């Protein structure tokens, strides 16, 4: 067998020599191979993952500040407030303020008319005055031969009384004519503004009615239940509340008045203060002193899911088009998903242990409070093996991004490939090694 191996190697040498390579050329090739191996070892040994730099301000999520040694280099602190340590589950701050609504209103919120709302007036014995009416954009309702009355912000009972008084004052009906009925038919969409501790502050339209549903609602005799014209719809339209929101301090501003609401029950299961909204309402939710992990889950006032961008390119793509076609660039996760779960979805966990262990994952996130980009790096093996993994396993926020870096074995292989193609181009080396 030794003789056969020697003969095969001699044949390879003669083949190389036949291609114009003499003994000196073969020796040079061997020297290049040795230099190649040494260079690969040196380059591979010098490759180290440098920790990403962030600003000196505290990172938004306390799990981003933690390390595997449990000695965070940048603790999350707020002035005059105590914040829980990284990995504290289901933390929520105590209520900071009391609600301004009575318990009676909490149990029975009253709808109030707004621009675009439709209602029906029925007057016994006067069909010419009976019919459907709508609140104009200026908040008024025009009555036949009786002028207009302001309807915005009124309950159905209040509007009924105002219409009765206007008809009596106009002389059309006598004071004894009280057989007047006002019945809501359809509550319209309203424009509101949302600010404070939400992901996307701004102006939004809530309670949008589909065209195919408008006719069906108008055919009904009376009544409407606009579940999307309450406080939760406004908060959801603004992207949901952030983990640093003070749920006990949700304020609705309306024509100079303030309604302070407590929405902790959306997370704790206790009663909440709900309020029907009208055109022009401004909803503002205060910031809490700390990051609250209990708020990072689907609920009526938080996001149902988050979109996360994923990258797992062992070899960078040479074409953007090919990269988009071959990679899952984003994925939807339930709100409350952690970094390790996204790494599994990105195919960054598992495989042959000897070559795939000791990989690194990078989380790229936008701090919703400061609007600055934060980047944290985690050892995937530490996340998988550590019993206290949630201390360094951040919760994902909307529009986060996950990227993976390969293990040192894979890096060494890629370095060897690059040096092969640079130092010894062609197929002669492969033939020689065989």
**pLDDT beyond 70 at 256:** yes
User: How far apart, in whole angstroms, are the C-alpha atoms of residue 401 and residue 394?
Assistant: 12
pLDDT for residue 373? 92
Residue 264, token pair as written in the block? 């902790």
Give SS3 for 301: coil
More confident residue, 149 or 1: 149
**pLDDT beyond 80 at 325:** no
| pLDDT tens digits for range 362-388 | 999 999 988 899 999 998 988 998 888
pLDDT for residue 305? 93
pLDDT for residue 284? 97
Query: What mean pLDDT comes out for the span 241-268?
Result: 94
94-98, 140-144, 279-283 — most confident range: 279-283
**pLDDT beyond 60 at 39:** no
| pLDDT tens digits for range 46-56 | 455 577 888 76
Give the angle 132-137-138 at the CA atoms, nearest 5°: 110
Residue 82, token pair as written in the block? 């105590």
Lowest mean pLDDT among 35-44, 73-82, 108-117, 335-344: 73-82
Kindly give the residue spans of alpha helices, DSSP state H, lying in 327-397.
339-345, 353-356, 380-385
Helix-strand-coil percent breakdown of the chain, rounded to 5?
Answer: 30, 20, 45
Identify the bridge partners of residue 205 per DSSP, sorted by sequence position. Answer: 191
Domains of the chain: 2-47+413-433 (no CATH), 62-79+302-407 (no CATH), 103-108+191-213+226-288 (3.10.560.10), 118-186 (3.30.1950.10)
Query: What mean pLDDT comes out for the span 104-119?
Result: 81
More confident residue, 148 or 23: 148
Distance of alpha carbon 220 from the chain centroid: 39
Question: Is this model's pTM higher than 0.85 or not?
Answer: no
pLDDT band for 401, please (50, 70, 90 cuts): very high
47: Cβ–Cβ under 8 A, 6 or more apart, which residues? 408, 411, 415
**pLDDT beyond 70 at 346:** yes
């Amino acid at each position: 067998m030794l003789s056969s191996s020697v003969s095969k190697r001699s044949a390879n040498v003669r083949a190389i020599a036949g291609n114009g390579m003499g003994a000196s050329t073969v020796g040079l090739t061997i020297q290049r191979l040795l230099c190649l191996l040494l260079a690969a070892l040196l380059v591979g040994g010098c490759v180290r993952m440098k920790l990403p730099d962030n600003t000196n301000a505290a990172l938004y999520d306390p799990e981003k500040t933690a390390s595997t040694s449990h000695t965070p280099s940048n603790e999350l602190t707020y002035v005059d407030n105590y914040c829980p340590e990284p990995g504290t589950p289901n933390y929520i701050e105590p209520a900071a303020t009391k609600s301004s609504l009575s318990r009676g209103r909490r149990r029975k919120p009253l709808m109030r008319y707004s621009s675009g709302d439709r209602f029906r007036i029925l007057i016994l014995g006067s069909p010419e005055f009976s019919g459907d009416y709508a609140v104009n954009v200026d908040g008024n309702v025009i009555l036949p031969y009786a002028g207009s009355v302001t309807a915005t912000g009124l309950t159905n009972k209040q509007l009924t009384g105002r219409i009765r008084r206007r008809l009596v004052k106009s002389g059309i009906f006598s004071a004894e004519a009280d057989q007047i009925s006002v019945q809501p038919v359809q509550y319209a969409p309203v424009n509101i503004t949302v600010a404070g501790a939400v992901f996307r502050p701004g102006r939004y339209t809530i309670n949008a009615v589909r065209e195919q549903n408008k006719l069906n609602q108008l055919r009904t005799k009376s009544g409407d239940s606009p579940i999307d014209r309450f406080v939760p719809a406004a908060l959801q339209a603004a992207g949901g509340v952030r983990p640093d929101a003070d749920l006990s301090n949700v304020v609705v501003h309306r024509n100079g008045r303030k309604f302070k609401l407590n929405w902790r029950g959306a997370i704790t299961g206790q009663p909440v203060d709900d309020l029907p909204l009208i055109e022009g309402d401004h909803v503002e939710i205060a910031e809490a002193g700390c990051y609250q992990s209990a708020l990072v889950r689907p609920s009526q006032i938080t996001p149902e899911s988050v979109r996360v961008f994923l990258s797992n390119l062992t070899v960078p793509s040479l074409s953007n088009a090919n990269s988009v076609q071959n990679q899952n660039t984003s994925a939807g996760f339930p709100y409350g998903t952690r970094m390790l779960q996204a790494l599994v979805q990105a195919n960054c966990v598992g495989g042959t242990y000897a070559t795939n262990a000791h990989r690194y994952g990078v989380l790229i996130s936008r701090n919703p409070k400061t609007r600055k980009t934060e980047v944290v790096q985690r050892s995937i093996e530490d996340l998988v093996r550590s019993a206290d993994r949630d201390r360094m396993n951040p919760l994902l926020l909307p529009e986060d991004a996950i990227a993976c870096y390969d293990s040192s074995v894979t890096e060494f292989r890629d370095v060897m490939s690059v040096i092969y193609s640079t130092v010894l181009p062609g197929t002669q080396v492969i033939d020689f090694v065989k």
